Amino acid sequence: MSIIKEIKPLLQASLKELYGYEAAETELTINSTKPEFEGDYTIVLFSFVKQLKKSPEQLGQELGTHLVQQHPALFTAFNVIKGFLNLSVADSYWTRFLNNHYQQTGFGSLPPIGKKVMVEYASPNTNKPLHLGHLRNIFLGWSTAAILKHSGHEVYKTCISNDRGIHICKSMVTWQLYGNGSTPESTGTKGDHFVGDYYVKFGIIQKEQMAELIEKGMDKKEAEAAAPIMKAAQQMLVDWEAGKPEVIDLWKKMNSWVYSGFDITYNRIGADFDKTYYESDTYLLGKKAVQDGLAKKVFTQKEDGSVWIDLTADGLDEKVVQRKDGTAVYITQDIGLAAQKQEEFGCEQSIYVVADEQNYHFKVLKLICEKLGIPGAAGIYHLSYGMVELPDGRMKTREGTVVDADDMVEEMVNVAKAKTEELGKVKDFTAEELKELYDTIALGALKFFLLRVDPKKRMIFNPEESIDFHGFTGPFVQYTHARIKSVLRKASEAGFKYDALSTATDSLLKLERDLIILLEQYPAVLEQAVSEHNPSVIAIYVFNLAKSFNTFYTEHSVMNAETEEKKSLRLRMASMTANVIASGMGLLGIRVPERM
C-alpha cells in the first residue's frame, strides 16, 4: 500500500473524530509536497473549509496537531501554508519501507485480477517496410500491454495486417512489369525492403507517365487516373477480387517476402503478437454487421442501395457503411473484426494503437458497435498518438523519403558505438559483449526517446540527441543502472553483507530521504500509467529516479559511508533503485546492462 493510501483513512478518521464529518475518499486530495516547502506530503484543505466553517489556517492547525499526536510513528511535524497542510513523515517509516522492499525485483506489480484486455498495434501495410512512425506505434502498443500485464490484467497482443487493396497491387504490378523474375534472395535484399522498392518505383513511373499525358493536354487528376501503370494496378485489384489464380499466387508470394522481412524487424526490436489478423480474411466480415444493423433499424438504406448510419444526434455526421455496389468500407470491416475479436477473446477492453489522424474513425466505430449491441463495445479505446517527424520535416513513403525502421536501428547502433567509444570505458569488453552493448544502448535510446513523450503529442526524433549519456535519455538511465551494479559488485567482492537489516534509527539525510520517497512512489506511477495508457509516465519517472540517485551519489559516498550502518542503508537504497529502474525500463521494452 502506498503512503498516500495509508494517509487517506487516517485523515478521514481525524475529520470524523474532530468534527463529526464523514468525508468521502473523492474529497481527499493528497500530493507530494512541493520542493520549496517543508514536508513530504500535502493535504489540500479547501474541500472542507466551507462545510466545517473554519478558516484554512485553523483547520490545518487542528488537523495537523491531531494527526501528529495520534500517529507519532508516521508523522513527526506539520506546517500550514495558505490552505495546504504539509506533513513530515518519520524517518523510521522510510527505512522500514526500504528494508521491506529493497530486494523485490517485482516491486509494484499486482496479482492477477482477471480483467481481459486486448491491445492491437503495428498494423502495417504489406507493400513496404516498417518505418519510424511504425516504431512509435509498436513501442507504445508493446509497452502498454506490458504495463497492463504487470498490473494484473490478462493481456492479448494482436496485429491486423493490411494485406489487400490498391496499394498492395501497386507493388505487385510494378514487380510484374520491371522485376524480371528477381527475388529478395537473388538480390540479397530483405523481403519487405525488396517489395517496398517496387512501391516507390510505382510512384516514380506514374509521375513520368502523368507528365507525358499532361503534356498532351490532360489535367493532373485525369492524368493520374489514366497513367498506364495505374490502370494496370486497378485491373490487378479487380482480378484479385475475382480470385484470378495467377494474381492470387503473385499476391501470396510477394506478401510472404514482406512477412519474412517484418519478422526479422520484429525480432530485432523485441515486438511480438499473440495473434495476427489479415485484412484479406476480415474485409467481408462487415457484411453481416450491415444486415444486422438494417434489421435493428440502426442503419438505413438509400434509394441508390448504399447503407448509412445517421450520427448527427450524437454530435457526429452521417456515415456510409456499405457502398451502393454492395462493397464494404473500412468502418464496416472494423465493426466485423471487433465482433470477431469479442467472440474469440471476450475482452472487457479493446485498445487500438492508431495515429491521431484516425480519431474520428474510432469515435464512429465505438458508437456504431454500441448501437449494434456488440459485446465489449463500451470497452473500445483508441490509444491515439501524434505523428513522428524528423528535424527536416515529415516523411513521405511514396516519394521514397521515409525512414525505414531497419535503417534507423542501424544508425542508432552506429551512434551508440561512437558515443560509447568516446567515453573510453569498455576496453575490457569482448567483441561479442560490445556488439550486445551497442545494440542494448541503441534500442534503449530509440525506445525511450519515442516513449518519453505523451502519446497525444506530436514529436521530432533526433538520433544524436537520443543517445546523450547526460540528457533525458535511455542511455542516461541505463548508465545509472550499470553504475549502481558496479557499486553493488564492489560491496559483494569486499564481502560486505547489507542484507542483515540494521535496527538503528539514524536520521536520514535529505538526499537519502528524497531517494527513498521517490522509490516508494513507483506503484502509484504504475497505476497512473495503467489508467492513462501512457508509458511516458514511467519513462519520466525512471529518468527522475536515475537523476535523484546520481545527485545523492555525487554528494554521499556509499562504500566509504560515515558508519557501517550508513553503508548498509545506502547499499539497500542502491539495490532497490537498480531493481526499480530495471522494472520500469523493462516495461518500456528496454534492457539495462550490468556494466557500461
For the stretch 205-216, pLDDT in tens is: 999 999 999 999
Neighbouring-strand partners of residue 212: none
CA distance 480 to 544: 11
Could you tell me the pLDDT band of residue 80, with boundaries at 50, 70 and 90?
very high
pLDDT in tens, 197-244: 999 999 999 999 999 999 999 999 999 999 999 999 999 999 998 999
Name every residue whose Cβ is closer than 8 Å to that of residue 225 and which is 6 or more positions away in sequence.
231
| 552/112: higher pLDDT | 552
Secondary structure element (H or E) that encloses residue 469, with its range: none
Q: CATH for 405-587, among 1.10.3720.10, 1.10.730.10, 1.10.3470.10, 3.40.50.970? A: 1.10.730.10
Residue 393 pLDDT > 60, yes or no? no
Q: Are 129 and 405 in contact (CB under 8 A)?
A: yes
pLDDT in tens, 88-117: 999 999 999 999 999 998 888 877 777 999
What's the grid cell of residue 580? 526499480
pLDDT of residue 497: 83
For 165, list phi and psi in degrees, rounded to 5: 115, 175
CA distance 118 to 96: 38
CA distance 241 to 251: 12
Average pLDDT on 294-298 reads 95
Could you tell me which of 226, 213, 178 has the C-alpha nearest to residue 199? 178
What's the grid cell of residue 240? 484479385
pLDDT in tens, 417-461: 998 888 887 888 999 999 999 999 999 999 999 999 999 999 988
CA distance 523 to 516: 13
* Chain-centre distance for alpha carbon 166: 31
Query: How long is the chain?
Result: 596
For 74, list phi and psi in degrees, rounded to 5: -105, -45
Q: Are 275 and 158 in contact (CB under 8 A)?
A: yes
Query: Between vectors from CA 180 to CA 177 and to CA 185, what angle results, nearest 5°?
Result: 125
CATH 3.40.1670.10 fits 3-89, yes or no: no
Could you tell me the pLDDT band of residue 501, with boundaries at 50, 70 and 90?
low
pLDDT of residue 403: 82
pLDDT in tens, 127-167: 999 999 999 999 999 999 999 999 999 999 999 999 999 99
Domains 3-89 and 405-587 alike in fold = no
Could you tell me which of 339, 306, 310, 344 has the C-alpha nearest to residue 322? 306
Give residue limits of the domains in the chain: 3-89, 164-266, 405-587
Query: Between vectors from CA 351 to CA 346 and to CA 354, what angle results, nearest 5°?
Result: 140
Using DSSP bridges, classify how beta strands 300-301 and 349-355 pair: parallel, antiparallel or unpaired. unpaired
pLDDT in tens, 534-543: 999 999 999 9
Q: C-alpha distances in angstroms, 431 versus 281, 340, 351, 434, 437?
A: 46, 49, 42, 5, 10
For 276, list phi and psi in degrees, rounded to 5: -115, 130
- For 456, other C-beta atoms within 10 Å of its C-beta total 13
CA distance 514 to 516: 6
Percent pLDDT > 70 in the chain is: 97
Could you tell me the pLDDT band of residue 398, with boundaries at 50, 70 and 90?
very low
